[in-house]
A and B are shown apart, each in its own frame.
Chain A
């Protein structure tokens, strides 16, 4: 299932039909962007690719456009754009940048141990 971010504030992408957030094997990711900038699109594309490759079927992506919902920046302490927040599994991790460095994204998400 392929999802591209559009003008909507939130768009979810489900790799799995289950909505059970408490599932320890489940990845809940939130991508903060500010408008439809090329960098945002790149970030989303990169994220999608990584998720498809490493977390297929157990991830959930929520895209938040701060241009439309600036108040949401406070909740996850967002400064940098784009920022990817790993809400689950805990602990919370933050990855900033356009996610073009796949290796660092994997390290940041704890998919791959720090070398």
Chain B
């Protein structure tokens, strides 16, 4: 055996790991279980130990072509085959192909009498033969505790188990050994002392009547590993661990926009809508139209030909389709086309972790580009705020890494300050749209505004939000001196304004008419004055003419008289002035 060991051993390159093939498990252990060494899987009854062990073998055989031996101390071959058949594992075929060997070890304490020293060589031989007969690389021992209860003399069993683990290592088989969890200890008989390399704890916890399965790597010698408790699922495809907590803030940010499905909402968001891959929170009290907004968002994605996924935690698929049809959003055709998929479940059906796991799986299977979760607040019935936030953080991380645009609706209870009650999740969101019932003048009206939109220049105005038979419409609210008015108040205010406007117009017309009249009046006066002036001017001119005529007569008479008197001052000019001067001079 030592020679074989030397031949198989590889140069020291850290710990060799062997992939289990169990979805998620190899990620949290960064490669799987330690190769060629035993791994202890402990957990209480019903924690999923046997299933984990069986999947380790089945997936090893199917994915990595590594034959395995399942030595069961609890269930018979038939029971095992039946139990895992429901998970789609065909054990009989694997057995026929010599990929799997089931060996049921039955120990009946009442049949056994101890009469002196013994060892477990029979078990070793039996296991060794099983391993050699199919060239097994993987071995499962389920559950070793049975030895303690089935055989007398614990000291012998302990020393034999120690020998068994050594022997398994020498055999270079990767072993998974399951163990019952003890009171306050990992295993009932302290087997973790012997298997020192890798210890995995499976836990099945019930909190508020909701059970959640969790897995934790207690110890993994010589390697780093995720230390958190990871939720895991057992469903119709077997075991899957969700290494979601291992995600971080390293996602890429897209510059591409996706429409919200409501043109005016897009306008409010700098005209283009949301960033692709961003997370959007739509919060509001009951009946404010959050789901309708979500349906618009989905419809827009489907119209673009993108696949979308609707996680509904309040309504059934039919109910959503019917309700959205009433507001003019036709979703059924997209379901038929395969562009839209609903996933409806009650929040109380599972714990948070399982919800997350199911969402995770559904998204991985369907690969949508748009996701709606309606509403996230329902998770608070299953977990508290911190847990819900942790869950949503993981969900958002997942969606961001996948570049999936997600819209979450959130139901806020009345009476609280909305912004306060949303602190839990809003900080995770890139865009936060608030739909609010605004109560005034004996009626409720819906108002919509954008509380935040990271990286988008957005409108800071409240829009009136109307749900019509052709979908959501956003209207400008009346914002004036009297404050923000909506609904009938807005309508009546608009009517009042129209009336005032009419009045003002009449007044203007009146003034214009008056102006015109005045102008006409003045113009008439101008005409009259002009007439008067002309009359007066004519009179004056006539007088002037008469004066001149008279002077001429006088001058003529003077000349005549001078000629008659034979005067010698003939140099006198006979013009008007000269005549006047001469006359004046003469007069003087």
Residue of B nearest to A100 (CB): B116
A66 to B124, CA, bound (A): 10
Stretch with Cβ within 8 A of A (4 or more), from B17-25, B107-115, B202-210, B224-232: B107-115
Residue of A nearest to B150 (CB): A79
Q: Are B122 and A97 in contact (CB under 8 A)?
A: no
A32 to B114, CA, bound (A): 14
A80 interfacial contact with B, CB 8 Å: yes
Q: Are B126 and A104 in contact (CB under 8 A)?
A: no
A115 to B117, CA, bound (A): 22
A82/B113 contact (C-beta < 8 A), A70-B126, A73-B126, A74-B126 known = no
Stretch with Cβ within 8 A of B (4 or more), from A15-23, A51-59, A87-95: A87-95
Q: Are B121 and A81 in contact (CB under 8 A)?
A: yes
Query: Within 8 Å CB of B111, what residues of A?
Result: 91-94
Query: Within 8 Å CB of A61, what residues of B?
Result: none
Q: Are B121 and A66 in contact (CB under 8 A)?
A: yes
A3 interfacial contact with B, CB 8 Å: no
Q: Mark B109-143, 1 if CB is under 8 A from A, else 0.
A: 00111111111111101101100000000000000
A66/B120 contact (C-beta < 8 A), A74-B103, A79-B107 known = no
Query: Within 8 Å CB of A70, what residues of B?
Result: 125-126, 128-129
Q: Are B129 and A77 in contact (CB under 8 A)?
A: no
Q: Are B129 and A79 in contact (CB under 8 A)?
A: no
B198 interfacial contact with A, CB 8 Å: no
Query: Within 8 Å CB of B298, what residues of A?
Result: none
Residue among B103, B105, B117, B152 facing the most chain A CB atoms (10 A cut-off): B117
A32 to B115, CA, bound (A): 14
Q: Mark B141-153, 1 if CB is under 8 A from A, else 0.
A: 0000001000110
Residue of B nearest to A32 (CB): B122
Residues of chain B in range 396-451 having any CB-CB distance to chain A below 8 Å: none
Residue among B106, B115, B123, B152 facing the most chain A CB atoms (10 A cut-off): B115
A83 to B151, CA, bound (A): 12
Residue of B nearest to A77 (CB): B106
Query: Within 8 Å CB of A71, what residues of B?
Result: 129
Q: What's the dominant secondary structure at chain B's contact region?
A: mixed
Query: Within 8 Å CB of A74, what residues of B?
Result: 103, 126
A39 interfacial contact with B, CB 8 Å: yes
Query: Within 8 Å CB of A34, what residues of B?
Result: 121-122, 125
> Considering only CB atoms and an 8 Å cut-off, how many residues of chain A contact the other chain?
34
Query: Within 8 Å CB of B107, what residues of A?
Result: 77, 79
Residue among A46, A92, A97 facing the most chain B CB atoms (10 A cut-off): A97
Question: How far in angstroms is the closest Cβ of chain B from A111?
Answer: 12
Q: Are A96 and B125 in contact (CB under 8 A)?
A: no
Q: Are A80 and B118 in contact (CB under 8 A)?
A: yes
Q: Are B114 and A77 in contact (CB under 8 A)?
A: no
Query: Within 8 Å CB of A41, what residues of B?
Result: none
Query: Within 8 Å CB of A98, what residues of B?
Result: 115-118
Residue among B103, B107, B122, B151 facing the most chain A CB atoms (10 A cut-off): B122
Q: Are A107 and B113 in contact (CB under 8 A)?
A: yes
A100/B117 contact (C-beta < 8 A), A79-B105, A80-B151 known = yes
Q: Are A96 and B129 in contact (CB under 8 A)?
A: no
A108 to B113, CA, bound (A): 5
Question: How far in angstroms is the closest Cβ of chain B from A31?
Answer: 12
Q: Mark B84-117, 1 if CB is under 8 A from A, else 0.
A: 0000000000000000000101110001111111
A9 interfacial contact with B, CB 8 Å: no
Question: How far in angstroms is the closest Cβ of chain A from B481?
Answer: 94
A84 to B105, CA, bound (A): 17
A97/B121 contact (C-beta < 8 A), A79-B105, A80-B151 known = no
Question: How far in angstroms is the closest Cβ of chain B from A37?
Answer: 8
**Out of B105, B120, B128, B129, which one reaches A81, CB within 8 Å?**
B120
**Out of A39, A43, A67, A94, which one reaches B113, CB within 8 Å?**
A94
Query: Within 8 Å CB of A93, what residues of B?
Result: 111, 113
A66/B125 contact (C-beta < 8 A), A79-B105, A79-B147, A80-B120 known = yes
Q: Are B122 and A66 in contact (CB under 8 A)?
A: yes
A29 interfacial contact with B, CB 8 Å: no
Question: How far in angstroms is the closest Cβ of chain B from A38?
Answer: 10
Q: Are B122 and A81 in contact (CB under 8 A)?
A: yes
Q: Are A97 and B147 in contact (CB under 8 A)?
A: no
A67 to B129, CA, bound (A): 10
Query: Within 8 Å CB of B152, what residues of A?
Result: 96
Q: Are B125 and A95 in contact (CB under 8 A)?
A: no
Question: How far in angstroms is the closest Cβ of chain B from A55?
Answer: 16
A63 interfacial contact with B, CB 8 Å: no
Q: Are A101 and B115 in contact (CB under 8 A)?
A: yes
Residues of B within 8 A of A (CB): 103, 105-107, 111-123, 125-126, 128-129, 147, 151-152
Given contacts A79-B105, A96-B151, A100-B115, list 5 more A-B pairs with CB under 8 A.
A70-B125, A73-B129, A81-B121, A94-B113, A108-B115
Write 28 A-B pairs (CB below 8 A) sorted by A numbering. A39-B117, A70-B125, A73-B126, A73-B129, A77-B105, A77-B107, A78-B126, A79-B120, A79-B126, A79-B147, A79-B151, A80-B120, A81-B118, A81-B119, A82-B118, A83-B122, A94-B112, A95-B112, A95-B113, A96-B113, A96-B152, A98-B116, A99-B115, A100-B115, A101-B115, A101-B116, A105-B115, A108-B115
Residues of A within 8 A of B (CB): 32, 34, 39, 43, 46, 66-67, 70-71, 73-74, 77-84, 91-101, 104-105, 107-108
Q: Nearest 10 CB-CB pairs, A to B? A: A108-B113, A97-B116, A70-B129, A100-B116, A81-B121, A98-B116, A78-B122, A97-B115, A34-B121, A73-B126
